[in-house]
């Protein structure tokens, strides 16, 4: 039987586990629930985390959770431009999320939180804008708890938001993704590869190494129609680079999931509920980075919730957004700005589709600034070699740790 709690955390991903850990460390009686029978499964993301965010958050990886270190990121733009950035921001690590998530939940338990897998939120009772009762089915048995604060960390399709009749995202603010964990035919580069091209749509594809010859290979796009698996299979067999590296008959795991773009309808607090992680759009989704921001925002939510409970003052929940800013600085705001700039370019139908993907890639890699778009459009009208030389000159003037070369895959 589930025990009563002061703080209920729904969802045991990075946001939920860090929220439960912080709440328990803050002295609150905390219950963390996850609907899955095994925390950490199934994996629904590319499993990559930027090194700079790991250091900023002082997040130590659990033993066995590190799959690979990535010392650069390469952008493949419209199959005609290859840009490789070795700036610190584009160095990353690939995780084994099954190990990582379960270890974070264990840290929450070690901090004093009650942790239960196979525990599904099914109903709530509200008094005004406050949730005063939550019904949970735990291993087939129904129980009711009466938390003072709830942290909703249950993803982009949040059960809690649905029960509260709260809309978090529009379809235009959600990317649908699919990836295969695959074995390559040859040794992989030591960096992540991001593909922007019309064949993918409003989104991007990726190859994220998890070892010398093992990688997550996938794509995500807004407005993705039809079978995701068919779309990925087609891309894998028609993109010349991918077809030369990966065999569609060598798939170790299929992973699907939806990701929010940075942004949120309304604020992350609703009454006595704090939304965190993907449920609050607290991601840098323009580069696929959701794990570390979710962890940070969960920490903020848990600490603020514990303070509100400890002082019996629910107005303390208003501190949540300030706590996020203290933990992440301007990361989320800047990510939202980059996302908006990319969407503005993509929606400009006066630009040919291929050129749009090149410009979006240059914005994503932060080689191009929004005020330089018109100048960059002029570059794209040049012969390919002239265009690449101009890009090299621009990178040299900026002293960017990046290289650019021509691709001839069209």
How, if at all, do strands 7-10 and 149-152 pair?
Answer: parallel
Give me the phi and psi of 83, to 5 degrees please.
Answer: -120, 125
pLDDT: is 103 or 284 the higher one?
103
Q: For the residues 245-265, what does the mean pLDDT come to?
A: 86
CA atoms within 13 A on the CB side of 95: 30
Query: Quick one: 66-93+172-259 is in which CATH superfamily?
Result: D-Amino Acid Oxidase, subunit A, domain 2 (3.30.9.10)
pLDDT at residue number 368 = 83
pLDDT at 171 over 70: no
pLDDT at residue number 394 = 85
pLDDT at residue number 8 = 98
Q: Using an 8 Å Cβ cutoff, are 135 and 121 in contact?
A: yes
pLDDT at residue number 284 = 78
Q: What angle do CA 233, 220, 68 make, to 5 degrees?
A: 85
Q: Token pair for residue 77? A: 């733009």
Q: What angle do CA 87, 352, 231 make, to 5 degrees?
A: 75
pLDDT: is 347 or 154 the higher one?
154
CA quadruple 173, 74, 365, 406: dihedral sign: negative
Q: Token pair for residue 385? A: 């070699």
DSSP codes joined into one string, 174-221: EEEEEEEEEEESSPPPSSEEEEE-TTT-SEEEEEEEEETTEEEEEEEE
Three-state DSSP class for residue 268: coil
pLDDT at residue number 286 = 59
Q: Token pair for residue 305? A: 């919730």
Element (H, E) at 130: strand 130-138
**pLDDT-based confidence at residue 256 (cuts at 50, 70, 90):** very high
**pLDDT-based confidence at residue 262 (cuts at 50, 70, 90):** low
Q: For the residues 3-20, what does the mean pLDDT come to?
A: 97
Which burial class, exposed, middle or buried, applies to 167 when counting CB atoms under 10 A from its CB (0-12, 13-18, 19+)? exposed
Lowest mean pLDDT among 311-315, 355-359, 378-382, 404-408: 378-382
Q: What would the pLDDT profile of 287-345 be if each residue is shown by its tens digit? A: 668 899 999 999 999 999 999 999 999 999 999 989 988 888 777 777 778 888 888 89
**pLDDT-based confidence at residue 264 (cuts at 50, 70, 90):** low
Q: What would the pLDDT profile of 22-36 be if each residue is shown by its tens digit? A: 999 999 999 999 999
Lowest mean pLDDT among 78-92, 257-271, 335-349, 376-390: 257-271
- Fold match, 7-46+98-169+262-329 / 66-93+172-259: no
* Residue of 216, 158, 164, 225 whose CA lies nearest to 192: 216
**pLDDT-based confidence at residue 174 (cuts at 50, 70, 90):** confident
pLDDT at residue number 238 = 96
pLDDT at 263 over 70: no
pLDDT at residue number 367 = 83
Q: For the residues 346-374, what does the mean pLDDT come to?
A: 89
Lowest mean pLDDT among 162-176, 192-206, 215-229, 369-383: 162-176
Cβ neighbours of 321 (radius 10 Å): 16
Three-state DSSP class for residue 60: coil
pLDDT at 122 over 70: yes
pLDDT: is 234 or 156 the higher one?
234
Domain ranges of the chain: 7-46+98-169+262-329, 66-93+172-259, 335-406
> Mean pLDDT, the chain, as a whole number?
92
Q: What would the pLDDT profile of 186-233 be if each residue is shown by its tens digit? A: 999 999 999 999 999 988 999 999 999 999 999 999 888 889 999 999
| Dist CA 98 CA 83 (whole Å) | 32
Q: For the residues 345-349, what does the mean pLDDT come to?
A: 90
pLDDT at 265 over 70: no
**Which of 3.50.50.60, 3.40.190.10, 3.40.50.150, 3.20.20.80 is the CATH number of 7-46+98-169+262-329?**
3.50.50.60
Q: What angle do CA 206, 324, 167 make, to 5 degrees?
A: 70
Lowest mean pLDDT among 61-70, 246-255, 311-320, 376-385: 376-385
């Amino acid at each position: 039987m589930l025990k009563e709690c002061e703080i209920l955390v729904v969802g045991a991903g990075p946001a939920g586990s860090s929220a439960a850990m912080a709440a328990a460390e803050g002295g609150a009686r905390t219950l963390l629930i996850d609907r899955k029978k095994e925390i950490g499964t199934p994996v629904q993301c590319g499993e990559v985390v930027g090194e700079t965010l790991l250091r900023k958050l002082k997040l130590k990886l659990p033993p066995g959770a590190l799959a690979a270190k990535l010392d650069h990121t390469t952008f493949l733009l419209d199959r005609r431009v290859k840009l490789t950035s070795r700036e610190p921001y584009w160095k990353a690590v690939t995780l084994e999320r099954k190990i990582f998530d379960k270890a974070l939940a264990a840290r929450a338990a070690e901090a004093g939180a009650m942790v239960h897998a196979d525990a599904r939120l099914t109903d709530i009772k509200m008094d005004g804008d406050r949730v005063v009762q939550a019904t949970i089915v735990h291993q087939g048995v129904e129980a009711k708890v009466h938390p003072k604060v709830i942290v909703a960390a249950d993803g982009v399709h949040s059960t809690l938001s649905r029960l509260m009749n709260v809309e978090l995202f529009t379809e235009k603010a959600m990317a649908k993704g699919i990836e295969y964990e695959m074995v390559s035919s040859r040794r992989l580069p030591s960096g992540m590869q991001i593909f922007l091209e019309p064949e993918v749509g409003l989104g991007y594809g990726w190859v994220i190494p998890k070892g010398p010859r093992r990688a997550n290979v996938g794509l995500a796009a807004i407005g993705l129609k039809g079978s995701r698996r068919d779309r990925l299979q087609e891309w894998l067999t028609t993109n010349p680079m991918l077809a030369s590296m990966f065999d569609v008959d060598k798939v170790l795991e299929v992973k699907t999931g939806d990701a929010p773009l940075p942004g949120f309808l309304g604020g992350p607090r609703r009454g006595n509920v704090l939304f965190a992680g993907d449920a609050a759009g607290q991601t840098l989704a323009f580069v696929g980075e959701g794990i570390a921001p979710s962890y940070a925002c969960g920490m903020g939510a848990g600490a603020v919730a514990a303070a509100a409970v400890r002082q019996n003052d629910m107005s303390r929940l208003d501190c949540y957004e300030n706590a996020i800013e203290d933990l992440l600085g301007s990361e989320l705001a800047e990510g939202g700005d980059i996302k908006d700039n990319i969407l503005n370019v993509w929606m400009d139908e006066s630009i040919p589709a291929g050129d749009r993907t090149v410009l979006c890639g240059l914005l994503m890699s932060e080689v191009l600034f929004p005020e330089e778009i018109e100048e960059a459009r002029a570059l794209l009208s040049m012969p390919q070699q002239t265009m690449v030389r101009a890009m090299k000159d621009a990178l040299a003037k900026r002293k960017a740790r990046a290289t650019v070369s021509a691709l001839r895959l069209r």
